[in-house]
Amino acid sequence: MKLTALTDHQHLLFKAISGSHAYGLQHKDSDIDIRGVFVMPKSLFFGLSPIEQLSDSTNDIVFYELHKFFTLLIKNNPNMLELLRMPADCVQYCHPLFDKLEPSLFLSRRCQATFAGYAASQIKKARGLNKKIVNPMKKERKTVLDFCYMAEGGGSVPLQKFLADRKLQQENCGLVNVPNMQGVFALYHSKEYKYSGVMRGEKANDIALSSIPKGEQPIGMLFYNANGYSVYCKEYRQYWEWVERRNESRYQNTLTHGKRYDAKNMMHTFRLLHMAEEIASTGDFSVRRTNDRDFLWKIRQGIFEYEDLVERAAEKMEEIDVLFEQSDLPDAPDEDRLNNLLVDLRSEFYDAK
């Protein structure tokens, strides 16, 4: 079954424009995302090759099979719940059976984790992004040598300075473990005897040890910060993977408003927090943002300081915790009831064909 099979609505239950257009937070360059629900043909449902969803190559268009849709609704997945409250101007097709799916059948205390919990994870992501923007990493990768230090007087100096001051080359150095002193090595130097060097090549991920001739004297004690090098390598890899993956137009917008956070990401973080608050206090929610649209749009424009938004989000999450504690929502949806509803919907859909 291919995506094109849904164009004639034969297997379709629902289709709508989702994302920023549904929230009322779109701008002239916003993508148009299509989300929907379909029922697979009987031959697939009863056969060996059932399918869960259909999508295009960019995932701008995604349709979920009825079973997967129910499974995600039971988990209180925000994107699926939103399809049950789509603004009328975003709905492109709605089968009469779809109207039987009311949010009240699915909303539960699980929304605290899926809405507010996800928003909290986005705050952490925003912190990481802020760190990447404020502290960009040089493309030239540091080496093991940058994490080696020599004991000198009552302190230490970087190994590379120590060697440069003495006009010595790391390739002519040899290291030997110092017993009972983790990370500490005796440093030897010789132009005649072939040592392994402090490291073997620029891409080495560890220091090198050497065999030292009897009677040779060390020129000093070296400390290798192996943990520091490991942390740096991880952050370097994550930073440059982020550079390769980032949406360049959104990144340039981040630089333009000068607040050094992903404004779109932060806007949707607060949207989720506000929706969680609505669910906990009213047992329902709105997809189209009206009461808080101006506030959310100001976030998108970079009006607020990053630290202020993080503080506001933390306060809002505390309020949401209290609201869910006081809420009359069930701990989880009634799966037996929803199982029967799923069977009935599928049976009615197939019988109508």
- Please determine, for residue 99, whether its predicted confidence score (pLDDT) is greater than 50: yes
Distance CA 243, CA 31 (A): 21
Same domain, 63 and 14: yes
Q: Is residue 86 part of a domain?
A: yes
Question: Counting beta carbons within 10 angstroms of the beta carbon of residue 160, is it exposed (0 to 12), middle (13 to 18) or buried (19 or more)?
Answer: middle
Same domain, 132 and 254: yes
Q: In 112-164, which ranges are E strands?
A: 148-152, 155-158
pLDDT tens per residue, range 287-339: 999 999 999 999 988 888 888 888 999 999 999 999 999 999 999 999 999 99
- Domains of the chain: total: 3
Contact 269, 123 (CB under 8 A): yes
Q: Is residue 232 part of a domain?
A: no
Same domain, 113 and 85: no
What are the two backbone dihedrals, phi and then psi, of residue 351, each rounded to the nearest 5 degrees?
-65, -35
pLDDT tens per residue, range 109-150: 999 999 998 888 877 666 555 555 656 788 899 999 999 999
Taking residues 24-53, report their average pLDDT: 91
Cα 178 from chain centre: 43
Q: Is residue 254 part of a domain?
A: yes
In the three-class reduction of DSSP (H, G, I as helix; E, B as strand; rest coil), residue 62 is classed as: strand
Res 49: pLDDT = 85
Same domain, 2 and 101: yes
Q: Residues near 126 by Cβ (< 8 Å), separated by ≥ 6? A: 261, 262, 265, 266, 269, 306, 310
Give the pair of three-digit tokens for residue 213: 């001739």
Which position has the higher pLDDT, 3 or 72? 72
- Please determine, for residue 87, whether its predicted confidence score (pLDDT) is greater than 80: yes
Res 6: pLDDT = 87
Res 136: pLDDT = 78
Same domain, 132 and 177: no
Helix (H) or strand (E) holding 54: strand 53-55
The residues that bridge with 74 in the sheet, in sequence order, are: none
Same domain, 13 and 99: yes
**End-of-domain residue from the set 193, 226, 259:** 226
In the three-class reduction of DSSP (H, G, I as helix; E, B as strand; rest coil), residue 49 is classed as: coil
Q: Is residue 238 part of a domain?
A: no
Contact 260, 225 (CB under 8 A): no
Same domain, 188 and 122: no
Query: Which domain does 43 fall in, by range?
Result: 1-105+333-353
Same domain, 337 and 324: no
DSSP per-residue codes, 98-124 = GGG--GGGT--TTHIIIIIIHHHHHHH
Res 209: pLDDT = 96
In the three-class reduction of DSSP (H, G, I as helix; E, B as strand; rest coil), residue 323 is classed as: helix
Give the pair of three-digit tokens for residue 28: 């002239």
